[in-house]
Chains A and B, each alone.
Chain A
Amino acid sequence: MIELKINGASRRVDADGDTPLLWVLRDHLDLVGTKFGCGMALCGACTVHVDGQPVRSCVTPVAAAAGKSVTTIEGLDGRVGKAVRQAWEAVDVPQCGYCQPGQMMSASALLSRTPKPTDTQVTEAMNGNICRCGTYDRIRRAIGDASRILEG
C-alpha cells in the first residue's frame, strides 16, 4: 500500500512502487484528466504538480510521490489555477483538448513561480508540452491573460 495525497485528499493505492504515477492516477484513482501521450516525458500531456513542481507523471514512479502533495487537473484550483482556467476559457484555447490538462498544469506552475513571465520564459516553460492541434499562439495569449488576471 502506498499513501498518497491527491488534490488535498489522502488516498491509499495497492500498486507496485515502480508503477508510473500516471497509471496510478488513471487506473487506480479514476483521475483520467491526466493524459498518456508518450511514456517518455517527451510530450507533457501527463504533467501534474508534485509539491507544486511540474512533473511528468509518465516517468515518475508512484513510490517517488509517496507522502508528497500531488495536484492533477481535476484539483487545479486556487488563485493561479482559477486564473489559468478562466483565461483558457476566454481565449477558447483547446481544439481536440487532449494536451490541454498538461498545458494548464505547466502554465500554472510557471505562473506560480513567475507571475509575469517574459515571452522567453513562457517558451522555456511550455516547450515540453506538445500540442498536435497547434494551439501554441492561444496558449501564449492565455498565459498573458492569466498573468494580468493575477496582477489584479
Chain B
Amino acid sequence: MERREFIKLSLSAAGGLTLGFYLPAARPAAAASTRFAPNAWLRVDPDNRITFICPQNEMGQDVHTSLAVLIAEELGVPVASLVIVQAPANPAYKNAMLGGQLTGGSTSVRHAWLPLRQAGAAARGLFIAAAAKTWQADAASLSADGGHVMGPGGKRLSYGALAATAATLPAPALDKVRLKAPAAFTQIGKAGQKRLDTPAKLRGERLFGIDAKQPGMVHAALAQCPVIGGTVVSFDDSKARAMPGVRAVINLVDGVAVVADHFWTAKKARDTLEVKWLVGAAGSVSSESVSRALELGTGKAAPIARENGDVAAGLKQASKTLEARYELPMLAHAALEPMNCLALVANGACDIWTSTQFPEGAQAAAAARSGVKPEAVRIHPQFIGGGFGRRLETDAIGQAAAIAKALPGVPVKLIWTREDDTTHDFYRPASLHTLEGGLDKEGKLIALHHRMVSPSVTERAFPPFVQEGLDPFMTEGAANLTYAVPHFRTSVLIQDTGVRVGYWRSVSHALNAFAFESFMDELAEAAGKDPVAFRLALLGSQPRQRAVLTKVAEMAGWSGPASRDRALGVASMECYGTHVATVAEVSRQGDNLRCGRIWVAVDPGIAVRPDQVQAQIVSGVITGLTGALKNRITIRDGRVQETNFHQFEPLRMAQAPRIDVAIVASGDEPGGMGEVGTPLVAPALANAVARLTGKRVRSLPFSAAGVGFV
C-alpha cells in the first residue's frame, strides 16, 4: 500500500468527515511487508461533534482520555470537547504492537503515539485546506485552533461546517503531515487535566459489562467443575427446575447453567444442582505437584534468551561466587467485577455485551460456541471493572454464547460469583529461578547466570509467539537486564504444571524482577557494598536507569545500614520501555513488620498525562503489595482452595503505604505505564526485610516465609 493511502477519507452518513488512519506495524518484519492495520477512527459531524472511536479498552488505566489527548493535541481542539466511543470488534482496530485487537502489554499509548497524532494533524490540515478552498485563500495564510479555522479579515469557520468540504479533498501523505514539536504541546504532558470518564463513574451510571441490559433479558448462573477443565457426566436438576422463576437448565459440557428471571434465583437454583463430573488427570494436581514439576525443570536444558561473554568461564574466574533460588506462587487476578457476559443469539447473528480486553478473541469465542459465523458476531465492549490480564481470556464469553444459543431470541446475562471467579481463574504462573553470580576481587559483578522455570501462558493463548521454545512473555525482566555484566546468560524453560495459567499485570517482569533484584542485594552484601552503589556501578551505559535509581535514592533519603527499627530496600529495572526504580521502607511493629512508605522514580520518556502516570504507578504498587504480602493460590486434589476475599485478600486502605512518585521524563517517546509500578515492590520489600531482620525471603508470599506484615 502506498503511504499516501494510509489516510482514507469518506463522508459519514451524517454528511461529516470520517477519517480512518492506519498504523504501520511496529515490528520490523511486518513493517517491511505491505500489511498495514487500520487502527482507529475520528468522526467530525456537521454539528461540530467530534467523535473519537477508541480502539483500546478502558479498564481504569485512562486509555480513553490518554489516547484522545494525542489526537486532540494535533487536531487543535480541547480533549474535553471530544466524544469518546468504544470501538467494536473489527480488524480496523488491531493493536499493531501485539498483532490483534487487544489491550495489554502496556502498549496502548506506545503504539498509538505516532498514528493518532498524525491522524489529528492530517485532519487539521484538511480543515485548513477546506477553508482555503471555501474562501479561495492561500492555505498558508490560515490557522486552526479550538475547532475553528481562522482566515484574514476575521474569517472563521468551524470544523463541523468544513467537514463536508474536507471530505472531498485528497488525502494527505503521512510524511507530509507536520507534527507539533513537543515544546509546542498545550495538552500532552500537561498537569491538571481531568479524566473524561470520571463524572459518569461517580453517578453510578450503566457502564460495566455486569450492568449491561437488553429488553427481555434473563439471568444465568453456572455450576462449573471444582477441578478446572472437568466436564459434565450427568446431573440432577429436579430441585432447580421446581423453583419459581427458573426458565431453563442447560448442559454446557464445561458446566451446567441455570437460567432464571433474576440472578439471585438462578444462583440459588444453581446451588441445588447435583452434578457428576469427569475430572481426569487434573484432579491430581496440587501445590506440591506444581513445585515438583518446576524442580524437575531446573535440571533440564533450557533455551537461552540472552547471552554475552562466557558465563561458565566468568564464574570460574570469580574470586567469590554465590548461588540462590527464588520461588513465586500462583496468584489470582481478583478483578472486582466478576466475570460476566450478556449474549443474544437471534436471526443468525450473535451480540455480546461484555467487559473485555480482547474484543477479537471475544468474537472468536462467541462464534465458536454460538454456531454463528465470526463476521456475524457483534462485540459491544463495556467499561472493565478490573482487568489485570484476566479479561484477555474469553471463557465466560463463550459460556454465555453457548447459553444464548440454547435460548434463541432471548438475551441472557451470565454472572460468575466471586467463588466461581477465584476458583476458575487463569492463574499467574508459579516460577522457580536459580541464580549464580561471580564477583571479582574488587567486589564487582563479572558473571551472572539466571535460569527460570515456569509454565507458559503464550503457548496456550498465542502459540505462534513461542519460537524455538522461547516465550517472549517469559523473558521480560530477564533478557532486558540493564546491568552491564561481562559474562551473562539467562535461560527460560517452559514447564507445564497442569495448572491453567494467564497473563497477570506485568507478566514475567514481576517474576524475574523478584529473582534478579533480590539477588543483586545478596551480591552487594557479599561484596560488602551498598546496594544502590553496587547497582550504579553496573549502569555506566544506562543513563536513564542510573537517573531513576539516583533519583529514588535521593527521594527516600537513602543512606548506609539500617537502624534497629527501620530499613530501606531498593530495586531497579527497565519495564515496557520505561525505566523505574523503587525504594520500600520496612519498620518493626511489635512482632510484625509494616511497609509505611514506598518511593518510585520513573522515566516513561514522555508522560502523556502526568497525573495518570502517577495514578498508574500508585496502582501498580498496590497490586505489587497484594501479590507479595500474603496472597497465593493453593491447589489440593486439583481444586483451588481459596474462594473469596477472606482467603485471597486484596490490599486494604489500612495497609496501603504512603507512595511518592517522581516522574523523570527524559525523552520524546512514551514508554509503557499500566504495569510498570508492580514488579519492583516484592524485591524492594524483600531487600528491606533482609536489611532490617537479617532474614532473606526467597519465596513469596512473605507470610508463608514467616514474615508477617500489618
Contact = CB atoms under 8 A, between A and B. Distances in A.
A35 B211 CA distance: 9
Given A27-B219, A35-B336, A99-B336, A138 B198 contact: no
A32 B202 CA distance: 12
Contact of A95 (B203, B205, B619, B644): B619
A29 B650 CA distance: 30
A30 interface: yes
B210 A36 contact: yes
B335 interface: yes
Contacts, number: 165
A98 B653 contact: no
Interface stretch (B71-79, B381-389, B548-556, B694-702): B381-389
A95 B620 CA distance: 12
A72 B204 contact: yes
B336 A132 contact: yes
B504 to A, nearest CB: 13
A2 interface: no
Given A30-B213, A38-B645, A73 B262 contact: no
Given A35-B385, A98-B208, A132-B335, A127 B198 contact: no
B645 to A, nearest CB: 4
B198 A89 contact: yes
A27 B262 contact: yes
B419 to A, nearest CB: 8
Contacts of A73: 203-204
Contact of A43 (B61, B197, B645, B653): B645
Contacts of A31: 204
A112 B314 CA distance: 67
Nearest to A138: B615
A95 B615 contact: yes
A126 to B, nearest CB: 5
A35 B210 CA distance: 9
A127 B653 contact: yes
Interface residues of A, number: 56
B195 interface: yes
Contact of B658 (A32, A93, A137): A137
B145 interface: no
Contact of B611 (A20, A92, A104): A92
A35 B418 contact: no
A19 B379 CA distance: 32
Interface residues of B, number: 61
A129 B651 CA distance: 10
A136 B386 CA distance: 15
Given A74-B204, A94-B202, A96-B383, A40 B336 contact: no
Contacts of A72: 204
Given A96-B384, A133-B619, A74 B203 contact: yes
A130 B652 contact: yes
Contact of A42 (B62, B337, B645, B659): B645
Interface string A1-42: 000000000000001100110010011101111111111101
Nearest to A40: B644
Given A74-B204, A130-B645, A98 B386 contact: yes
B113 interface: no
Contacts of A114: none
Secondary structure call for the B interface: loop
A108 to B, nearest CB: 12
A97 B653 contact: no
Contacts of A65: none
A94 B204 CA distance: 12
B158 interface: no
Contact of B202 (A15, A36, A100): A100
A116 interface: no
- Give the one of A94, A101, A126, A128 with max B CB within 10 A: A94
A104 B204 CA distance: 10
Contacts of A42: 644-646, 649
Contacts of A85: 202-203
A135 interface: yes
Given A45-B336, A126-B653, A33 B203 contact: yes
Contacts of B621: 134
A118 to B, nearest CB: 14
Interface string A111-152: 000000000001100111111111111111000000000000
A129 B656 CA distance: 13
A130 B650 contact: yes
A137 B656 contact: yes
B386 A133 contact: yes
Nearest to B204: A33
Nearest to A124: B654
Contacts of B645: 37-38, 40, 42-43, 130
- Give the one of A43, A100, A139 with max B CB within 10 A: A43
B653 A139 contact: yes
A135 B386 CA distance: 13
Nearest to A139: B653
Nearest to B646: A42
Contacts of B334: 132
Contact of B653 (A37, A45, A140): A140
B338 A37 contact: yes
Contact of B62 (A23, A39, A95, A101): A95
A23 B385 CA distance: 18
Given A40-B644, A89-B198, A139-B653, A134 B204 contact: no
Contacts of B658: 137
Nearest to A99: B336
Nearest to B388: A132
A27 B263 contact: yes
Contacts of B520: none
Contacts of A130: 336, 645, 650, 652
Contacts of A26: 263
Nearest to B244: A16
Contacts of B213: 30, 32
B459 to A, nearest CB: 28
A72 B204 CA distance: 9
Nearest to A45: B336
B177 to A, nearest CB: 32
Contact of A97 (B60, B415, B649): B60
- The 8 A-B residue pairs with the shortest CB-CB distance, nearest first, are A33-B204, A134-B622, A96-B60, A98-B385, A95-B60, A97-B201, A73-B204, A42-B645
Given A74-B204, A97-B201, 20 more contacts: A16-B264, A27-B263, A31-B204, A32-B206, A34-B204, A35-B336, A36-B338, A42-B645, A43-B650, A88-B202, A92-B198, A95-B615, A95-B619, A122-B653, A128-B652, A132-B334, A133-B622, A135-B618, A136-B653, A138-B615
10 contacts: A36-B415, A39-B644, A73-B203, A89-B198, A94-B202, A98-B336, A101-B204, A131-B336, A132-B386, A136-B653
Interface of A: 15-16, 19-20, 23, 26-28, 30-40, 42-43, 45, 72-74, 85, 88-89, 92-101, 104, 122-123, 126-140
